[in-house]
Amino acid sequence: MTYLATIAANRFGLGARPGEIAAAQTDPRGWLLRQIGKPPLDPNQPGAAAALAQLALFRQAKQAIKKDGNKPDTPPRRPLARSFAAQVGNTLESAIGSGDSLAWRLREFFSNHFSVSSRGAALLALAPTLEHEAIAPHVFGKFEDMLLAVSSHPAMLVYLNNERSFGPDSMIGRRNRQRGLNENLAREILELHTLGVNGGYDQQDVIELALAISGWSITRPREPEPRGFVFRTQGHQPGARRVLGKTYAEAGLAQGKAVLTDLARHPATARFLSRKLAQHFVSDKPAPALVEQMTRRWQASGGDLGAVITELINHPAAWEPEPQKFKTPREFLISACRATGAAGWQARELIGALELLGQRPFNAGSPAGYGDSESAWDGADALLARIDWAARFSGRLGLDAERLAHNSLGAALTPATRTAIERAESRTQGIALLLMSPEFQRR
Amino acid sequence: MKNIADYPSLKRRGFVKLAGSGLALWQLPALGLAATKAPAPRPKIVWLLLRGGLDSLHAVVPAFDAGLMQQRRSLAEPLVDKLLPLERGFGLHPDLKFLHGLYVKRQLAPVVAVATPYRSRSHFEGQDVLESGLAPADHDSGWLARALSAYRGEGLAIARSLPIALRGEAAASTWYPDHLPGADSDLYARLLKLYENDVRLHQRLQEALETRAKVGDLAGRRRPRLQHLAKACATLLAAPGGPDCAMLEMGGWDTHNNQPGRLSQQFGQLDAGLQILCEHLGQTWQQTLVVIATEFGRTVKNNGTRGTDHGTASALLLAGGALRGGRVLGEWPGLGEKDLYEGRDLMPTSDMRAWTAALLQQHWQIPQTQLAAVFPGAKPVGLTLTEGVLKPKVKV
């Protein structure tokens, strides 16, 4: 047995399901590379159009309550909350059941990279649609396609207030002096989504990008269908823009798209994203050679994410035998479910567990997303919460802990953990010890 | 000095007792101290970090400055008649009623137009510099941890994982309310044994068990608001042998749109949180300094969506029974077009670290030489800020 199969399943995937470590034994790299190309889609999820339709109904219901003063049987917000939980639950279940967990890890990585939080009714409805509409289809495609899809998606436009950001010299801006520009989305695109905070832009670039994407908005509830993104020419700042030293002629919607495309292809973006990917998958302090190699591949391939991930998997620095990182709560929970089958646990309970463990989906509360370094998750209280959850979780599973340990950790199972499991006072306790063992908590 | 980690033998023994009999281990080191002499009340510090960039012009409103109406009429006009009066013509936002009561009792002092050394406008870098106290930030060394090392005290973060401000050599732990029932103590004991070869996990679990033993049933709410966190924080601080400082956090200050309504709610929560903190600290409030800081301020002009974008200077709010308050500190830069930083933001007139350094010097008696390691390059302001034993050297 080799530990490489365990690394393949844990460091690059979401933990081994029964049989996966055995399947990856002969060719761990090949086992991962075969997962590249097939996007992690979960079918039958509603999109932003459906979310906006639901939101329109929600607002009607709220207005009706205001007008008649009658309280309806079901609060108007409930359908939104139900739909949110259903979508998030479906995604969790798909990730738990997937045979291509590398793809799901990537989906989660980019969903956190383009983090939106579900505060308020509009984002409760919209937030989960960003991931399956704008992110999942592109995880093995071109980064610029993902960036454009995200930046023009209603969830992101609402979250970072671009849907009402209008050029001061646009028709809307001149008609009503109270309305104007909002820098929020433009700043975060530069700082968080593309170049990185040291990527060489300044305040003027922020303003120029904000002007370039002014008028990128969403349909109003009373506007005719289809609902979703809309470019409001009357709200777009007229004229040429200058971003990072390059001039972009006035071209309406195409002007902003041209700037974003250049940002996606910028060398600083290649470096920032390559480093972030290496930090996510491998280690908080990844080998410079690994980052360099990925950056070069990013630039040579025009930001082809499948190619960049292939580079990562093929690099020896990504296969250090020692575990390099403490799992995030989400990685821990999904890997625990994959290892055990999670029989008897509902998606709703799993979402509740993520909340208790500090990583409720779409709730980072910051456009930077949840922290991705070990120190963000390895606090004393966080560890205790994991133990308490593991104790409760394993309480409903009547499984053989020793076989689970073998299936999920393979050659990485240490004698100490094996002994602890053997000596456990019950099967339940044995599973809790396995899930909380250092080798299960790290990857 | 009274750090549990300094007593390795006690550590293991203590845990066995905890697991076996439910005895609260946390109290052991304090008992050790108490044996020599009756414990004097120790000066406490609470650092509350407002994440997202507080618009200070909406909190400590410079109603006397003609620039206010010129720059942000739509935000200021509905406010100016309802302000709670402070000296120098400033007024506190009407939803900060408890804070204003503190001001009247000389237990609150806003410091206007302060900033960290950070001059760009990223939340994340800004918060890192604020927490680290260094520019550029060091993610493994926080100012509060360095201050604790100098003071030889213990710290606590009301958070799931240790924030940057408390990372470093000092003894600091974390606590956050959960509502899962605890696992049985046998599982904890077995895991401690399993973690014997894993220093970090072992230490984390031990810290967590100690804190839980102390907090008992404080855990509760699903989504804790500041009030609930403040209550737990106060209970932990005021307990015998409790930590010397605690860090709290509150988000929601990034008001790019609909600022008046959002800040009204935020201020209401902040105000209630401080009230709970004060009430639950009881007598300990008299030895406590509360420092409320944010990573940066916001644009002086309102933006196009009834909000404000990222700016530079903001305010520092100082409070507590140990404070010599009842005044508005800091030089006012003015709001005229030419007074602004880069033509858009409130101009910083002092380094936030200089105020915090002065508080450490006066409240914890940290000598100048060690302060230089806490805040390199920041000279403590020469004002008496506390009611402590140090008599004023400089006339206020």
State the nearest Cα–Cα gap between B143 and chain A, in angstroms.
17
Specify if B227 maps to a domain. Answer: yes
Q: What is the pLDDT of residues B128-154, one digit of tens each?
A: 999 999 999 998 899 999 999 999 999
- Cβ of B121 within 8 Å of Cβ of A420? The answer is no
The pLDDT value recorded for residue A1 is 52
- Domain of residue A415: give its range: 329-441
Q: Are residues B123 and B200 in the same domain?
A: no
Residues with Cβ within 8 Å of residue A367, at least 6 apart in sequence: A115, A116, A159, A160, A188, A192
- Cβ of A387 within 8 Å of Cβ of B197? The answer is no
Q: Alpha-carbon distance A149 to B204, whole Å? A: 42
Q: Which of B168, B200, B218 is the last residue before a domain boundary? A: B218
Specify if A427 maps to a domain. Answer: yes
Nearest CB neighbour to B180, from listed A166, A191, A388: A388
Q: Are residues B297 and B198 in the same domain?
A: no
Q: Are residues B252 and B262 in the same domain?
A: yes
Query: Of B185, B186, B275, B260, which is closest to residue B227 (Cα–Cα)?
Result: B275
Q: Alpha-carbon distance B31 to A92, whole Å? A: 49
Q: Alpha-carbon distance A414 to A391, whole Å? A: 21
Reported as a pLDDT band with limits 50, 70 and 90, residue A66 is: confident
- Cβ of A385 within 8 Å of Cβ of B175? The answer is no
Residue whose token pair is 């990925």:
A294
Specify if A436 maps to a domain. Answer: yes
A187 chain-B contacts, CB cut-off 8 A: 121-122, 309-310
Specify if A156 maps to a domain. Answer: no
Residue whose token pair is 């100690």:
B210
Nearest CB neighbour to A388, from listed B51, B182, B310: B182
Q: DSSP letters of A150-212? A: HHTSHHHHHHTT-TT---TTSHHHHH-TT-----HHHHHIIIIISS-TTSS--HHHHHHHHHH
Phi-psi domain of A282 (left: phi exceeds 0; alpha: psi -120 through 50; beta: other): alpha
Q: Are residues B69 and B201 in the same domain?
A: no
Specify if B362 maps to a domain. Answer: yes
Check if the beta carbon of residue A329 is closer than 8 Å to that of residue A354. Answer: yes
Q: Are residues B103 and B2 in the same domain?
A: no
Identify the bridge partners of residue A147 per DSSP, sorted by sequence position. none
Specify if A52 maps to a domain. Answer: no
- Cβ of A425 within 8 Å of Cβ of B186? The answer is yes
State the nearest Cα–Cα gap between B186 and chain A, in angstroms.
9
> What are the angstrom distances between the C-alpha of B334 and each of A159, B62, B63, B101, B294?
33, 9, 11, 27, 20
Residues with Cβ within 8 Å of residue A90, at least 6 apart in sequence: A42, A44, A45, A347
Q: Are residues B7 and B74 in the same domain?
A: no
Nearest CB neighbour to A376, from listed B123, B161, B178: B161
The pLDDT value recorded for residue A423 is 87
Q: Alpha-carbon distance B381 to B243, whole Å? A: 27
Nearest CB neighbour to A389, from listed B180, B188, B190: B180
Residue A224 dihedral angles phi and psi, to the nearest 5°: -65, 155
Q: Are residues B14 and B77 in the same domain?
A: no
Which burial class, exposed, middle or buried, applies to B70 when counting CB atoms under 10 A from its CB (0-12, 13-18, 19+)?
middle
CB of B125 less than 8 A from some CB of A: yes
| DSSP 8-state class, residue B155 | E
The pLDDT value recorded for residue B216 is 58
- Cβ of A183 within 8 Å of Cβ of B123? The answer is no
Residue of B nearest to A414 (CA): B194
Number of domains in chain A: 1
Q: What is the pLDDT of residues A340-349, one digit of tens each?
A: 987 667 888 8
CB of B221 less than 8 A from some CB of A: no
Mark which residues 223-262 of B lie under 8 Å from A by CB: 251-252, 256-257
Specify if A430 maps to a domain. Answer: yes
Nearest CB neighbour to A380, from listed B74, B204, B303: B204
Number of domains in chain B: 2
Specify if B16 maps to a domain. Answer: yes
- Cβ of B304 within 8 Å of Cβ of A384? The answer is no
Q: Are residues B24 and B160 in the same domain?
A: no
Check if the beta carbon of residue A21 is closer than 8 Å to that of residue A407. Answer: yes
Check if the beta carbon of residue B243 is closer than 8 Å to that of residue B45. Answer: no
Specify if A296 maps to a domain. Answer: no
- Per DSSP, the three-state class of B3 is coil
B186 chain-A contacts, CB cut-off 8 A: 425, 429
Query: What's the mean pLDDT when you consider all of chain A?
Result: 94
CATH number at residue B124: 3.40.720.10
> What are the angstrom distances between the C-alpha of A361 and each of A364, A383, B145, B284?
8, 19, 31, 39
- Cβ of A366 within 8 Å of Cβ of B51? The answer is yes
SS3 content of chain B, % helix, strand, coil (to 5): 45, 15, 40
Q: Are residues B1 and B132 in the same domain?
A: no
| CA atoms A403, A408, A413, A418: torsion sign | negative
Identify the bridge partners of residue A218 per DSSP, sorted by sequence position. A229
A383 chain-B contacts, CB cut-off 8 A: 201, 204-205, 208
Q: Alpha-carbon distance A14 to A332, whole Å? A: 8
State the nearest Cα–Cα gap between B86 and chain A, in angstroms.
30
Portion of chain A with pLDDT greater than 70, in percent: 99
Q: What is the pLDDT of residues A141-200, one digit of tens each?
A: 999 999 999 999 999 999 999 999 999 999 999 998 888 999 999 999 999 999 999 999
- Cβ of B309 within 8 Å of Cβ of A183? The answer is yes
B342 chain-A contacts, CB cut-off 8 A: 203
Reported as a pLDDT band with limits 50, 70 and 90, residue A379 is: confident
First to last CA, chain B: 35
Q: Alpha-carbon distance A91 to A139, whole Å? A: 15
Beta carbon pairs, A and B, within 8 Å: 167
Residue whose token pair is 């108490």:
B34
CA angle B317, B94, B331 (to 5 degrees): 40
For the cut 80, the answer to whether the pLDDT of residue A2 exceeds it is no
Identify the bridge partners of residue A326 per DSSP, sorted by sequence position. A442
Q: Alpha-carbon distance B274 to B117, whole Å? A: 27
Q: Alpha-carbon distance A378 to A380, whole Å? A: 7
CA angle B146, A191, A317 (to 5 degrees): 75
Specify if A188 maps to a domain. Answer: no
Question: What is the interface pTM, i.e. ipTM, of the complex?
Answer: 0.89
CB of B173 less than 8 A from some CB of A: yes
A429 chain-B contacts, CB cut-off 8 A: 186-187, 190
Residue whose token pair is 């974003």:
A260
Q: DSSP letters of B102-152? A: HHHTT-EEEEEEEE-S--S--HHHHHHHHHH-SSS--TT--HHHHHHHHHT
The pLDDT value recorded for residue A341 is 85
- Per DSSP, the three-state class of A356 is helix
B203 chain-A contacts, CB cut-off 8 A: 380
The pLDDT value recorded for residue B367 is 94
Decide the pairing of beta strands B108-115 and A229-231. Answer: unpaired
- Domain of residue B13: give its range: 1-39+189-218
The pLDDT value recorded for residue B391 is 39
- Per DSSP, the three-state class of B157 is strand
State the nearest Cα–Cα gap between B383 and chain A, in angstroms.
36
A173 chain-B contacts, CB cut-off 8 A: 304
CB of B204 less than 8 A from some CB of A: yes
Across the range A209-238, mean pLDDT stands at: 94
Q: Are residues B244 and B281 in the same domain?
A: yes
- Cβ of B208 within 8 Å of Cβ of A383? The answer is yes
Question: Model's pTM, two decimal places?
Answer: 0.81
Q: Are residues B246 and B199 in the same domain?
A: no
Q: Are residues B28 and B49 in the same domain?
A: no
The pLDDT value recorded for residue B10 is 29
Q: What is the pLDDT of residues A112-141, one digit of tens each?
A: 999 999 989 999 999 999 999 999 999 999
The stretches in chain B having pLDDT less than 70 are 1-40, 178-180, 215-224, 388-396
The pLDDT value recorded for residue B40 is 66
CB of B106 less than 8 A from some CB of A: no
For the cut 90, the answer to whether the pLDDT of residue A15 exceeds it is yes
Q: Alpha-carbon distance B393 to A252, whole Å? A: 64
The pLDDT value recorded for residue B104 is 98
Specify if A358 maps to a domain. Answer: yes
Across the range A70-80, mean pLDDT stands at: 86
